[in-house]
Amino acid sequence: MTNKERFIELLRSTKREGIEKLIDFLEKTDFFTAPASTRFHSSYEGGLLQHSLNVYDCLAGLGTTTGDVQEFQTAGMRLDSIPQESIIIVALLHDLCKVNFYATEMRWRKDANNKWEQYPVYAVNDRNPYGHGEKSVMMASEFIHLTMEERYAIRWHMGMSEANIIQTYCQAAEKYPLVLFTHMADQMATSYLETNTGNKKPEDVYLGTEPAAQDPEEFAEAEPI
């Protein structure tokens, strides 16, 4: 099964009214071929699709499946019981805002023979400046009904990325634990599973190794993940 087939099968399994219209919309966009970023993670063709599935796998892995719900616990304390369809919707659509968000442009560099050559790179081309998580909520809501919990989780999947909204994020996470779980899954997928060329191999994911050399671009200006 291809990533695209798995993605569509998961969406259809929710049986959410309007889901077929959403799938038709995605088919007409670059969602299935777009990168997830310009150069920070999964910055390759199909990277956005792979990242969305990675977030689903991470989010599903944070809880325990019991029938049609996902149970979340910590230190033996039950935190929440969330419908599987919400897990799917939130994970697969959290970055819906990146549809038609990236463009390809040509830049110059020197090749191995010290000669100038052009090469393609991804660049941001945001034609609908409506934020990040909030734009995903807006776009998904054009086709399907989102529960309040799903809206919160998608809106806040970036976590405390803006200093002036830390308190608001914390209040949202306290109100709906799925907010925190979705942010964790997004970060786990980005930090542990993905590279700029594809997913890591299982044997490369284990973190109990020597620390990697510091990336010279570690403090470069970031973009939404």
- Which strand ranges, in their side-by-side order, compose the sheet holding 64-66? 64-66, 69-74, 77-83
Tracing tokens 């071929």 back to the chain, one arrives at 33
Instruction: Write down the H helix ranges in the chain.
Output: 3-13, 19-27, 47-61, 84-93, 133-141, 148-155, 166-175, 177-188, 202-205
pLDDT in tens, 13-44: 999 999 999 999 999 999 999 998 888 788 89
Distances, alpha carbon 63 to alpha carbons 160, 181, 220, in Å: 22, 9, 34
pTM equals 0.76
pLDDT the model gives residue 213:
58
pLDDT the model gives residue 164:
65
Q: Which of 94, 98, 18, 20 is nearest to 58 (CA)?
A: 94
pLDDT in tens, 60-91: 999 999 899 999 988 877 889 999 999 999 99
Q: Could you tell me the two tokens for 135?
A: 């734009």
Cβ(109)–Cβ(201) below 8 Å: no
Q: Which of 104, 103, 172, 171 is nearest to 133 (CA)?
A: 172
Cβ(198)–Cβ(44) below 8 Å: yes
| Domain residue limits, the chain | 3-102+130-203
pLDDT the model gives residue 224:
60
Regions of the chain short of the pLDDT cut 70 = 161-164, 203-225
